[in-house]
Structure 1
């Protein structure tokens, strides 16, 4: 482990033990794509904790989504794997002969999974409509209200402006709906012609879209949404593949409660329930519980946080760790379990911020601790080589396929990987590889990292 005060020269030491050949391993970091990159590597035996290989292990580097290992592991440590969120729905006022003279009130409970695509078996909108019908309500003389109970979520100041309106920039709120994501359904024609915006699902009230997307010969989604969370108009620019009858571009829903209200009112109307929007008393007097929606277990949310790298879920886990000072509490938690927190800079819990910086050894030591302390809930959340698409390149060798489980991270100029590797001797290694500011093809960088893992596995 690292210790503060040893001097900066220590950060650049290459350490090779267990008989590794320095020339054999070192050549990976001399290849042209990574020769001028900042690289941090730390590999340790899980059982003994002994160092297998280190290269700038104490250098704080951008980890991208690998930082989700911190939020997921420490949330499980603090809350256990069986924590659930509760969202309560009440009705107030007087109910007579199918007419409710009052409000239907949703009290947010911080659940990030309401109507999430990752948990399709539990639909919040359906449950609310069923509960209303089950009470015999056919008319509401009042409103449907979402009580959030706190100040609006704020975008971390270090998030890039070009990210905040796109789906992966969805913020965590006390009330969340459909992964806080909407879909722009588009149609494209010949290359070079304007694409047409067909619909927005769910509708985003109070927001207009200025569409400047073109059709392209490129067979990839290169359309981006620009604008802040309070913007009345969002700009869509870029390209989508030509000649598509339907193509989806996803955006961040920054006011999920507004989108939910539109959707639930529409669904109630379809079910024959009329909502006459009238101002009535919003107090607690006379409130009756209509529905309690229980979230999936925390371990299931952690599963998708790491498997699918869901930023929204990671931010929710960060809020569990600390709603006010995440970075400080993470460092305190790490120090408490014996992991040095020197050099760590955290601006968010999901890794979207390019200002995050964490040493490779921190992640490797976290993996050593998690293996002993967190059990299956954490390990099951990590993508698996030969199974999960995100590890396709990293595990593309017989000695790695099925023997590596790891969290990936990527953003411009960053490729990162941290997890467990079983070598040919049957030993389990914990490893972290952080590569910043590489040149050229990112797939080639991934292949260099894969080849390094293969070398580790074959020794």
Structure 2
């Protein structure tokens, strides 16, 4: 063991770009998976710096998959603060008079991560109980916190499943995550489908779906994109593909346009509350001096990030990333460009080399985003030296216990001890976080595999490296 460490120290002293010797269990896992050694990049070191850095491809730009979320979360905790909260507001151009709003009711999004259907209902209930009963000007939806207001419009889909929740591209409203629940149930002759909640003007037809022999847990394998058609009374959805016989499934899907969904849900809830709402809905910007009538506030950022990181929630990570830019963006500036500026300034302030960094949306759900293992290690070190270190640590999945690691590393030296962010794309897998060794000393751990077979074969290699660190003394 001492000889191994000496050889690593010699390599690092002579030429940091030369690959470090590979731990035997990791080499065996690579050979078993049929992956080349140079597909793996890593940086490993005790957090206190008591051993030399073990590194391979440490400075190479690599696809991080969802380990990129560590960058967004760490910067956000520092720059936005643990108590930062998104909010949603109902406004009007002028205060109501005798229970009547003469103009439009304005629904303004403020990057509220918790604006679900009950929260929208409660907003409207507040308005109704304040005495407002009639809105004569229809509804105006204001998404202008971010620029452009609708990032999703015209953007090519990431993959062949744009309806699923991981593919949602958020905007400042983010009402119910831009999703609507669909309940699918196999019948004797086909598939029945409905939405929850049911919406007047929205017809769902599953008559073209067939039954398959797949297991219920694999129901989405034969899913095909739905056809959406405008009709006189609203929208008609034609579901396609196959669904497992004997199966019943509820799934949140992004099929209905978010503006249509927002306006129709507001109208349905307001009508149920006994109010009236005039015709003509629109998207736009609240006028200067608009009066706030009701407010909903999301949870503090530290609480939001705990779920975001453990579930690896792409949409909410993107929402947080955009908030970094929204607080500093100049007039007319693309919010994504402002967010990237904030991240790069933070990295520079913490002496982290950002030259390998390529940013897209801050979530890792991207074909273009790149980091180096050394960059991620630098972010982890800086995060643990900062005031928000406990909050950052609490966001990370625990090996074999929860989040995206609940079914990995369940029986070994790292179980219930290592805290690591996972990452998976078709050609990239990664783990990054902190692994205590056998003496309880935490190591900074970053390992990325980039290879066409990474998603299918790479996880056992990463797990072997985690367990190897956990066994060191």
Give the Cα separation in 2 of the matches to 1:205 and 1:361. Answer: 53
CA shift in 2, pair 1:278/1:70, >3 Å: closer
CA RMSD in angstroms, aligned pairs only: 3.5
TM superposition shift of 1:10: 6.7
Q: Deviations over 1:220-258 (max 9, x none)?
A: 1325454899998877554433212x3223323674343
Asked whether 1:144 is paired with 2:146, we answer: no
> What is residue 402 of structure 2 aligned with on the other side?
388
Q: CA separation in 1, counterparts of 2:454 and 2:211?
A: 27
Note if 1:360 corresponds to 2:373.
Answer: yes
Structure 2, unmatched stretches of 5+, are 1-13, 326-334
Note the C-alpha offset of 1:437: 2.0
Equivalent-residue separation in structure 2 for 1:316 and 1:229 (angstroms): 27
More helix by share: 2
Deviations 1:346-402 (A, max 9, x none): 222111112222112211221111111132221111111232142134322231111
Matches within 5 A, 1:149-160: 149=144, 151-155=148-152, 160=158
Other-structure match for 2:329: none
Greater mean deviation of Cα atoms: 418-427 or 223-232:
223-232
Aligned to 2:277: 275
Q: Which residue of 2 aligns with 1:56?
A: 57
Partner of 1:345 in structure 2?
358
Deviation at 1:426, TM superposition (A): 1.1
* Maintained 8 Å contact 1:73/1:378: yes
Which 5+ residue runs of structure 1 have no aligned equivalent?
Answer: 1-8, 117-122
Equivalences for residues 36-185 of structure 1 within 5 A: 38-48=39-49, 50-92=51-93, 95=96, 98-115=99-116, 123-149=118-144, 151-155=148-152, 160-185=158-183
Is the contact made by 1:111 and 1:175 (CA closer than 8 Å) also made in structure 2?
Answer: yes
CA distance in 2, matches of 1:298, 1:394: 27
- The match for 2:449 is 435
- 8 Å contact 1:384–1:391 — kept in the other structure? yes
CA distance in 1 between counterparts of 2:70 and 2:229 reads 31
Q: Distance in 2 between matches of 1:279 and 1:332?
A: 40
Please list every run of at least 4 consecutive aligned residues from structure 1 whose deviation after the TM superposition is greater than 6 angstroms: 204-211, 227-235
Q: Say if 2:27 is the partner of 1:26.
A: yes
Does residue 14 (structure 1) correspond to residue 12 (structure 2)? The answer is: no
Q: Distance in 1 between matches of 2:20 and 2:281?
A: 70
Give the Cα–Cα distance (whole angstroms) in 2 for the partners of residues 203 and 72 of structure 1. 36
Q: CA deviation at 1:157?
A: 5.8
Q: 1:105 to 1:362 in 2, by over 3 A?
A: same
Deviations 1:166-223 (A, max 9, x none): 2211112121101222222222246xx7533333657597898787543322221325
Contact 1:110-1:176 within 8 A present in 2 as well: yes
Where 1:15 maps in the other structure, the secondary structure is coil
Matches of 2:187 and 2:258, distance apart in 1: 32
Name the CA shift for 1:98/1:441 in 2 (closer, same or farther; >3 Å): closer
Preserved contact between residue 86 and residue 295 of structure 1 (Cα < 8 Å): yes
CA contact (8 A) 2:182 2:195 kept: yes
The size of the alignment, in residue pairs, is 436
The Cα of 1:145 is off from its aligned counterpart by: 2.3
Q: 1:411 aligns with which of 415, 421, 425?
A: 425
Per the normalisation by structure 1, the TM-score is 0.83
**2:77 aligned counterpart, secondary structure:** helix
**Is this contact kept in 1: 2:309–2:396, CA < 8 A?**
yes
* 2-structure distance, mates of 1:349, 1:202: 34
